[in-house]
Amino acid sequence: METDQPTEESELAPFVIEGARSSRSKCKTCRRKIDKDVLRLGILLEGPYGTGYLWHHLNCAAKRRFEDVEEAFAAEAWNAAKVVPKDIPPLAELGKLREEAEQKKKERKEIPWAEVSPSGRSKCVTCGEAIAEGSVRVNLGRLVEFGNQVRTNPVKVHPSCVARQLGEADCDTDGETLAADLRANSAGLEAVLLDGALAQIDAS
């Protein structure tokens, strides 16, 4: 359990909104530290090993668990704080954070996808040549290590370079299902252009 817990169990409200009383708590949403005085939402957890709050940045909670924020506002959860915080943003403002987060999620592309290159500035990672403006480029997954984490990042390639890129050791895109995946993930691309790119991939 976290530190920073109230001592009197009988006082525990289901939600509390407060300025963090120290910098020791961690946000359960983004897993980063919650700096002292930054607004946080505590959600009471009653478990077999005790009762206490799990903390979230108020903004993180708005993005990922808005229903809890709504409930906390309805309960005026700032009144459960030891020191009632000032400058609590209006619920509508937090609602906007949620909308933005959901919009971003929708726009996030799923790897692999094909698209029209909006400029001539991108370079194909396979051959190193520029990808012409207006031509179709394919985004394939590449494994990248960050410390002890491995992530898949999109890399851009010419359709004619896809076969070579799929053979790279750090390629994280499955060649077997590539055509079906591209069809599923390339909603913004005209079908005739996608067909052309798939033909080039097959021919290479």
Min separation Cβ 14 and Zn ion, Å: 20
Q: Which of 183, 88, 198 is nearest to 136 (CA)?
A: 198
Min separation Cβ 69 and Zn ion, Å: 13
Min separation Cβ 94 and Zn ion, Å: 13
The alpha-helical segments, DSSP class H, found in 17-115 are 58-64, 66-74, 91-107
Q: Which stretch of DSSP H or E encloses residue 183? A: helix 178-185
Give the whole-angstrom CA distance, residue 83 versus residue 65. 24
Return the range that interacts with Zn ion (CB under 5 A); candidates 54-62, 114-122, 170-178, 191-199: 54-62
**Exposed, middle or buried by CB within 10 Å (0-12, 13-18, 19+), for 145?**
exposed
How many CB atoms are located within 10 Å of the residue 158 CB?
Answer: 26
Pick from 38, 45, 101, 127 the residue near Zn ion by CB under 5 A.
127
- 29 belongs to the binding site for Zn ion (CB under 5 A): yes
Q: What is the largest CA-CA distance in the chain?
A: 72
Cβ proximity of 69 and 97 under 8 Å: no
Nearer to Zn ion, 30 or 189 (CB): 30
Nearer to Zn ion, 48 or 128 (CB): 128
Nearer to Zn ion, 12 or 127 (CB): 127
Min separation Cβ 11 and Zn ion, Å: 25
Min separation Cβ 87 and Zn ion, Å: 18
Pick from 20, 27, 69, 72 the residue near Zn ion by CB under 5 A.
27
- 161 belongs to the binding site for Zn ion (CB under 5 A): yes
Q: What size, in residues, is the chain? A: 204
Where on the chain is the footprint of Zn ion (CB under 5 A)? 27, 29-30, 57, 60, 124, 126-127, 158, 161
